[in-house]
Structure 1
């Protein structure tokens, strides 16, 4: 272990031994003496930890801190053992059968302890347990536990350890890091010798396979990306555990005790060792800050701790980036470095043992491929360089490497990637302007063989950011909110993968309209370039859509796009949010909405391009963002705009779609035994927009619900449906429509602890409301507890019947915010606009989400005598964007200036955050 500076400032062993001797010499009962000894050790631990923390806060070096914490615990364990052996259970001359060795295992054995990490101890015996062992081990453990330490332990002989290690990978890994701590060193040496000769010998390949499979399983459980916005520093992809895995493999295969010894032996390069040490030091520092900040063994960089972490690690705000975003960007770049090291080292491990790559799960073997491919050599099914200086002499070959791998569907050898990493500086202005390099890049970007694969490899190798510097600015850039799941670059790469899936017909069920039109496009290259660049200007001062369009106009000619393709791509980037905004925030049943959208888009080709880009963008935000409602709204907006553009001669006009939707439902209902009269009666209840907004499965659920409610003349029907994939619960409410209904239901849900994340209001021709709400619990999960759902149904019934006073019930809940959302500041905003609709005033409200917010907003509108004709509820993480089409009590638009000001003031008051108000009052 690295030498600890000024050890006595952390723990003064001599002074403690002297004090322990004094306590042992006192004539007092054992229990009283133990209390004094425990108090002494508690004080030693507290003072030692305080000194280690003081040093950390002064220097901010996590690697030093974990060693100092380990040193402190080492000394305490040794002192407790010695006191037990010398004063509590003195033996005089001990027999060989009473020998005992204390061994540190796991991370503690490695010599690394974070502030709140567990301590793993092995009490090593000669062959069997005797009373002396039980006495000493029990004394040590209870003393450590009573100090407040978390101690994992085992008491075994060397024979036990070897036998268990053969059958249990966890035990084998823990023993790999064992370190003699105190006691009989001969026992430890014997165990280590047997471990090397009986466990490590001839099992390296098996161990590597097992550890990599374990790593893959862990990544899958943690969200298989190193770019999730709330990463786990220890277990996540690119975290400390990945570095530990590399260390375990290195130690097992090469018998090294330090990663630097791999470079001494010529196995990896010195730069790779420096990258390993740098990454580990950064991650240890982050983890130590996390433990000290949260005062618990917390390893998740959640949104609520990220701002303070940025402050503690001295990341200041800059004009174009907040400190927290700069800190997280650095974190993701380090995680990427860990991935690079993993690929490099695993390739070396594979070659060392001459096993087929398939068996090691490190790559694929393509024996049928030719040896030489496009200027590269195919080694074990993977592309490698023909010479060490290939990229130095021909920098364009770095672009060709990824292009060739994609075209031939082979992996790239980590050795070649290491050469790429060393040659990145050769990608300069000359390479960027090289026509062949740009042709190869655009060919990859628009490939039919899934560009996501090639571009992700290019990005992780650092080539993409060097070749397209504007893209390099968004590499590892986080978006500090609860809506986006990935960094900007990862989101972009995934969007290209979604686009490929649409084109391949893999998403017909989820996105039928875009899956159909994408194969009708004339401007396919322009679309792929636009998807690649749609967020390329994020993080700059100004509108990223407008700035991104300017980037496209600059880069298009360089990439070899025609003038028309460049202009089309720039338009798509500039308007890439427009279709989302109109579909989700405007009433597409309003003719003016469609007219305004058509005036913006102008041509059927651009309409198709924008639909495909919009679907790819939304679906790449995160796994739970896309749903059938959004698909239906986008599809209907597309079809209605196409109707107008083609003069009603589109392939599927609105009236035809209504009839087709009704026909599909009729077929299903006939199959279920509905009579013709029942079907006709039900289909007469829905207005045309109802039939085009929802798909057949939802129509079928609604039909059954309405039929059952009408059969018993139920005044209120509430039906839940849990959607575990999206982590939401859909609540459908069928009841008589009346002013304030929407507000009352929203209030009932708030009282029941439900958070509304989406809503759809439908009024049927029979005067009944058929409203659907998507709700979650306070932790962002599905509201799926049977007891909670029963309470919710009862609460809605009580509110609608007037037996429950919402104002009183909600007053007690004011200020309770959804988990983690309290860290985000969203300025309240209320916009009133009479231009989007000829018959309604459109109100848009923005604010930070909280329980009861929707009730407060809609209740304010009801109190002002406003009639809500349609509502468009959207939640983007912590931010709500709700749009309402309203009329006054006489059924007219609100156009009087004073009334508009009154409405705005009332809504801003409703948007006020009680929690922030309470904080300000303190």
Structure 2
């Protein structure tokens, strides 16, 4: 899904030879920067290297404050300024080994078995769902799964532009093992597809059941892109406020043969991952990039080409890139009050909780379901059925019904802070001032002249 394989066996063998001759070099530098750890990655360049590195950094729950990327040629050189989730420098050195393994000959097995964001396939059955979002949909999905005597061990649900995508990991309720009965799997798929289609889906709903390992967030980006959630529909527009709308500018740099993509948006966790996923899914190659995310806003600049080396050549394609990148950023920034549920896990827990949400007129815009040992740790973003904020009186009534000690309201400001008036001023000069000439300095290969 997220890994690239050469078309021919000879190409595959040549790539392995290059990797053996030029193994990736990863250095972790805690001395050069006073407020961040520098991670420098040098390796033979191959398609997907950037996404692999960014994916590993995100799976390690690291925050990327700055990134300087250069892969124009046969060599891949990146520098990332990162902190932990508390904003501190890194205190462990295991990140270097993780990245080296992700880029080396054992990359596939490494990502499948050890990457934090990848679920091991032998432990569960994976269900993928896409369809039109509507109030109560998630409640109906979890009710069907519970009725079929299955247990949800993990799940992630995204909504955007009236579309929904989810990856759900289930096991048999009685045995705790993956489901392997073809008739039972077919029944699950049939019933869930019936729920997804409803009577209003103007596009095709889809369900898939597999035992393949998958990276949830990577897969969700692919699913929503394939579902064309970036298509604009005036009747289905979300209620995302204007100050949160990303600004995307796409122009060709004719003298260098690149297309330059500039993005300006509120800073959010995993922003670089979201952008690189989408550019990769659209079959673009990132040759150079600069990312700065040290305040309420983040700026990203990418020099890209098609896989055949050509820049964007039409206005329609330019507009498609803009819409797809806007969608990639907004998918994760679901609106609503964040509720966190922490309790002993039990069969049917999700079905009961989401049913209470539905009965009280709440709509789930995003969900992250995890199981840690015997504990269920679930996060829900909720609005009312019209997409408006929920009154606090309603939230308190729901907390009393579910349990005041297990359902909590979390103040989540990671993606809702309004930019300051000064930072809101748009300047083409500021937006386009980073250019390829800065890359040697940014990569730490030359010293500043100041």
TM-score bracket for the superposition, by shorter chain length: 0.3 to 0.5
Q: Decide which structure has the larger Cα Rg and report it.
A: 1
Determine which structure has the larger strand proportion and give its number: 2
Determine which structure has the larger helix proportion and give its number: 1
Q: Which has the higher contact order (CA 8 A, sep 6+)?
A: 2
